[in-house]
Amino acid sequence: MLTIWGRKTSSNVQALMWCVGELGLPYTRHDAGLIHGGLDTDAFGALNPNRTVPVLQDGDGAPIWETGAILRYLAATYGDDGFWPQDSHPRAQVDKWAEWAKINIAMEFTVPVFWRVIRTAPQDQDTDAIRTAVRELEHKLMIADRQLSHAPFLAGPELTLADIQLGHVLHRYYDIEIVRADFMHLRQYYDDLCQRPAYREHVMVSYDSLRIR
Protein backbone atom coordinates (compact mmCIF):
# COMPACT_ATOMS: atom_id res chain seq x y z
CA MET A 1 0.00 0.00 0.00
CA LEU A 2 1.31 3.41 -0.99
CA THR A 3 0.82 6.39 1.30
CA ILE A 4 0.90 9.77 -0.44
CA TRP A 5 0.88 13.27 1.00
CA GLY A 6 -0.24 16.13 -1.21
CA ARG A 7 -3.31 18.05 -2.32
CA LYS A 8 -5.01 16.93 -5.50
CA THR A 9 -4.76 20.42 -7.03
CA SER A 10 -0.95 20.30 -7.00
CA SER A 11 0.46 19.75 -10.47
CA ASN A 12 3.27 17.59 -9.10
CA VAL A 13 0.84 15.52 -7.07
CA GLN A 14 -1.28 15.08 -10.19
CA ALA A 15 1.72 13.65 -12.05
CA LEU A 16 2.31 11.19 -9.22
CA MET A 17 -1.35 10.22 -8.93
CA TRP A 18 -1.72 9.73 -12.68
CA CYS A 19 1.30 7.42 -12.61
CA VAL A 20 -0.21 5.49 -9.69
CA GLY A 21 -3.49 5.24 -11.59
CA GLU A 22 -1.87 4.00 -14.78
CA LEU A 23 0.04 1.36 -12.83
CA GLY A 24 -3.11 0.31 -10.95
CA LEU A 25 -1.53 0.63 -7.50
CA PRO A 26 -3.50 0.80 -4.22
CA TYR A 27 -2.91 3.96 -2.23
CA THR A 28 -4.02 6.24 0.55
CA ARG A 29 -3.62 9.96 -0.06
CA HIS A 30 -3.59 12.66 2.61
CA ASP A 31 -4.39 16.24 1.61
CA ALA A 32 -1.51 18.55 2.53
CA GLY A 33 -0.46 22.00 1.47
CA LEU A 34 -2.16 25.37 0.78
CA ILE A 35 -5.69 25.40 2.28
CA HIS A 36 -5.09 21.98 3.85
CA GLY A 37 -1.95 23.07 5.72
CA GLY A 38 0.06 20.48 7.57
CA LEU A 39 3.43 21.18 5.97
CA ASP A 40 4.75 23.03 9.01
CA THR A 41 4.16 20.19 11.45
CA ASP A 42 6.97 18.17 12.99
CA ALA A 43 5.42 15.00 11.61
CA PHE A 44 5.55 16.26 8.03
CA GLY A 45 9.02 17.72 8.53
CA ALA A 46 10.18 14.23 9.48
CA LEU A 47 8.84 12.97 6.13
CA ASN A 48 10.29 15.79 4.04
CA PRO A 49 12.58 18.46 5.48
CA ASN A 50 11.82 20.64 2.45
CA ARG A 51 8.14 20.69 3.52
CA THR A 52 6.89 20.31 -0.03
CA VAL A 53 4.53 17.86 -1.71
CA PRO A 54 4.29 15.20 -2.92
CA VAL A 55 5.80 12.70 -0.53
CA LEU A 56 5.42 8.95 -0.99
CA GLN A 57 5.97 6.06 1.39
CA ASP A 58 5.74 2.52 0.10
CA GLY A 59 4.78 0.26 2.98
CA ASP A 60 7.32 0.65 5.76
CA GLY A 61 10.00 2.03 3.45
CA ALA A 62 11.70 5.37 3.89
CA PRO A 63 9.69 8.34 2.59
CA ILE A 64 10.58 9.60 -0.88
CA TRP A 65 10.34 13.22 -1.94
CA GLU A 66 11.03 15.08 -5.21
CA THR A 67 8.49 14.21 -7.91
CA GLY A 68 10.99 12.89 -10.44
CA ALA A 69 12.55 10.55 -7.89
CA ILE A 70 9.13 9.29 -6.82
CA LEU A 71 8.06 8.66 -10.41
CA ARG A 72 11.25 6.78 -11.21
CA TYR A 73 10.85 4.67 -8.10
CA LEU A 74 7.31 3.71 -9.06
CA ALA A 75 8.29 3.03 -12.65
CA ALA A 76 11.26 0.86 -11.67
CA THR A 77 9.36 -1.01 -8.97
CA TYR A 78 5.95 -1.48 -10.57
CA GLY A 79 6.15 -0.52 -14.24
CA ASP A 80 6.45 -3.05 -17.03
CA ASP A 81 9.16 -3.03 -19.66
CA GLY A 82 7.09 -0.79 -21.93
CA PHE A 83 6.54 1.87 -19.30
CA TRP A 84 10.11 1.82 -17.94
CA PRO A 85 12.48 -0.46 -19.91
CA GLN A 86 14.86 -2.69 -18.02
CA ASP A 87 17.59 -2.32 -20.61
CA SER A 88 19.62 0.82 -20.03
CA HIS A 89 19.61 2.05 -23.62
CA PRO A 90 15.84 2.20 -24.26
CA ARG A 91 15.33 3.33 -20.65
CA ALA A 92 17.66 6.26 -21.29
CA GLN A 93 15.46 7.33 -24.20
CA VAL A 94 12.41 7.39 -21.95
CA ASP A 95 14.36 9.11 -19.18
CA LYS A 96 15.69 11.69 -21.63
CA TRP A 97 12.21 12.79 -22.65
CA ALA A 98 10.94 12.65 -19.06
CA GLU A 99 13.70 14.96 -17.88
CA TRP A 100 13.23 17.22 -20.90
CA ALA A 101 9.51 17.53 -20.20
CA LYS A 102 10.08 18.33 -16.53
CA ILE A 103 12.67 21.05 -17.16
CA ASN A 104 11.44 22.53 -20.42
CA ILE A 105 7.67 22.15 -20.16
CA ALA A 106 6.50 21.74 -16.56
CA MET A 107 8.90 24.31 -15.11
CA GLU A 108 8.43 26.74 -18.00
CA PHE A 109 4.65 26.55 -17.72
CA THR A 110 3.79 26.48 -14.04
CA VAL A 111 5.35 29.68 -12.74
CA PRO A 112 5.89 31.76 -15.90
CA VAL A 113 2.42 31.07 -17.35
CA PHE A 114 -0.01 29.38 -14.96
CA TRP A 115 0.83 31.49 -11.93
CA ARG A 116 0.66 34.70 -13.97
CA VAL A 117 -2.77 33.78 -15.34
CA ILE A 118 -4.44 31.92 -12.47
CA ARG A 119 -2.46 32.79 -9.35
CA THR A 120 -2.44 36.54 -10.09
CA ALA A 121 -5.46 38.84 -9.78
CA PRO A 122 -6.70 40.02 -13.22
CA GLN A 123 -5.90 43.66 -12.49
CA ASP A 124 -2.31 42.73 -11.61
CA GLN A 125 -1.59 40.51 -14.59
CA ASP A 126 1.24 41.46 -16.93
CA THR A 127 -0.16 40.53 -20.33
CA ASP A 128 3.13 41.18 -22.12
CA ALA A 129 5.00 38.90 -19.73
CA ILE A 130 2.36 36.20 -20.15
CA ARG A 131 2.53 36.46 -23.93
CA THR A 132 6.33 36.26 -23.88
CA ALA A 133 6.31 33.27 -21.52
CA VAL A 134 3.78 31.43 -23.69
CA ARG A 135 5.88 32.03 -26.81
CA GLU A 136 9.00 30.73 -25.05
CA LEU A 137 7.11 27.67 -23.82
CA GLU A 138 5.77 26.98 -27.29
CA HIS A 139 9.27 26.94 -28.76
CA LYS A 140 9.73 23.83 -26.61
CA LEU A 141 6.26 22.44 -27.28
CA MET A 142 7.14 22.56 -30.97
CA ILE A 143 9.78 19.93 -30.24
CA ALA A 144 7.15 17.69 -28.63
CA ASP A 145 4.77 18.28 -31.54
CA ARG A 146 7.46 17.22 -33.99
CA GLN A 147 8.31 14.14 -31.92
CA LEU A 148 4.63 13.18 -31.69
CA SER A 149 4.31 13.30 -35.48
CA HIS A 150 6.31 10.04 -35.53
CA ALA A 151 4.66 8.11 -32.68
CA PRO A 152 1.53 8.23 -30.52
CA PHE A 153 3.51 8.81 -27.33
CA LEU A 154 6.51 10.96 -26.51
CA ALA A 155 9.10 8.18 -26.35
CA GLY A 156 7.56 5.75 -28.83
CA PRO A 157 4.57 3.47 -29.33
CA GLU A 158 3.62 3.01 -25.65
CA LEU A 159 2.78 5.27 -22.73
CA THR A 160 5.90 5.74 -20.61
CA LEU A 161 7.15 7.80 -17.72
CA ALA A 162 7.99 10.52 -20.24
CA ASP A 163 4.29 10.99 -20.98
CA ILE A 164 3.54 11.41 -17.28
CA GLN A 165 5.99 14.30 -17.10
CA LEU A 166 4.70 15.97 -20.26
CA GLY A 167 1.04 15.09 -20.26
CA HIS A 168 0.10 16.23 -16.77
CA VAL A 169 0.89 19.84 -17.79
CA LEU A 170 -1.27 19.83 -20.90
CA HIS A 171 -4.67 19.91 -19.24
CA ARG A 172 -3.97 23.31 -17.72
CA TYR A 173 -2.14 24.52 -20.83
CA TYR A 174 -5.18 23.78 -22.98
CA ASP A 175 -7.72 24.91 -20.38
CA ILE A 176 -6.51 28.31 -19.20
CA GLU A 177 -7.39 31.52 -21.01
CA ILE A 178 -4.40 32.17 -23.22
CA VAL A 179 -3.78 32.41 -26.96
CA ARG A 180 -2.19 29.13 -28.03
CA ALA A 181 -0.34 27.98 -31.11
CA ASP A 182 -1.95 25.32 -33.28
CA PHE A 183 0.06 22.17 -32.65
CA MET A 184 -1.80 19.46 -34.54
CA HIS A 185 0.06 16.44 -33.16
CA LEU A 186 0.30 17.76 -29.61
CA ARG A 187 -3.42 18.52 -29.57
CA GLN A 188 -4.28 15.01 -30.80
CA TYR A 189 -1.97 13.59 -28.14
CA TYR A 190 -3.73 15.61 -25.45
CA ASP A 191 -7.17 14.60 -26.73
CA ASP A 192 -6.10 10.96 -26.59
CA LEU A 193 -4.81 11.38 -23.02
CA CYS A 194 -8.22 12.80 -22.05
CA GLN A 195 -9.74 9.43 -22.89
CA ARG A 196 -7.59 7.62 -20.34
CA PRO A 197 -9.51 6.99 -17.08
CA ALA A 198 -6.52 7.66 -14.80
CA TYR A 199 -5.82 10.95 -16.58
CA ARG A 200 -9.42 12.06 -16.26
CA GLU A 201 -9.49 11.17 -12.57
CA HIS A 202 -6.18 12.60 -11.43
CA VAL A 203 -5.17 15.31 -13.92
CA MET A 204 -8.41 16.80 -15.22
CA VAL A 205 -9.07 18.29 -11.79
CA SER A 206 -10.59 21.71 -11.20
CA TYR A 207 -8.02 24.34 -10.26
CA ASP A 208 -10.63 26.98 -9.43
CA SER A 209 -9.59 26.96 -5.77
CA LEU A 210 -6.16 28.20 -6.89
CA ARG A 211 -7.54 31.16 -8.81
CA ILE A 212 -6.85 34.64 -7.43
CA ARG A 213 -9.72 36.99 -8.16
Q: Which CATH class for the 88-197 domain? A: mainly alpha
Domain ranges of the chain: 2-78, 88-197
Residue 111 confidence (pLDDT): 97
Tell me if the pTM is above 0.95.
yes
Residue 63 confidence (pLDDT): 98
Q: Beginning with the edge strand found earlier in the chain, give each strand of the sheet holding 64-65 in spatial order.
A: 27-30, 2-5, 55-58, 64-65
How many Å apart are CA 201 and CA 212, to the nearest integer? 24
Residue 10 confidence (pLDDT): 97
How many Å apart are CA 134 and CA 178, to the nearest integer? 8
75-125 pLDDT, tens digit per residue, is 999 999 999 999 999 999 999 999 999 999 999 999 999 999 999 999 999
Find the Cα–Cα–Cα–Cα dihedral 141, 142, 147, 153, rounded to 10°. Answer: 30
Q: Decide: residue 22, CB within 10 A, 0-12 exposed, 13-18 middle, 19+ buried.
A: buried
State the pLDDT confidence band at 39, using cuts at 50, 70 and 90. Answer: very high
State the pLDDT confidence band at 70, using cuts at 50, 70 and 90. Answer: very high
Contact status, residue 170 vs residue 138, Cβ threshold 8 Å: no
How many helices and strands in the chain, by DSSP H and E?
A: 10, 4
Q: Of all residues in the chain, what percent carry a pLDDT higher than 90? A: 99
201-209 average pLDDT score: 97
Residue 164 confidence (pLDDT): 98
Residue 204 confidence (pLDDT): 98
How many Å apart are CA 52 and CA 55, to the nearest integer? 8
CATH number of 2-78: 3.40.30.10
How many Å apart are CA 138 and CA 143, to the nearest integer? 9
Residue 135 CB: number of other CB atoms within 10 A?
11
Mean of all residue pLDDT scores within the chain: 97
How many Å apart are CA 166 and CA 170, to the nearest integer? 7
Contact status, residue 133 vs residue 108, Cβ threshold 8 Å: yes
174-188 average pLDDT score: 97
State the pLDDT confidence band at 53, using cuts at 50, 70 and 90. Answer: very high
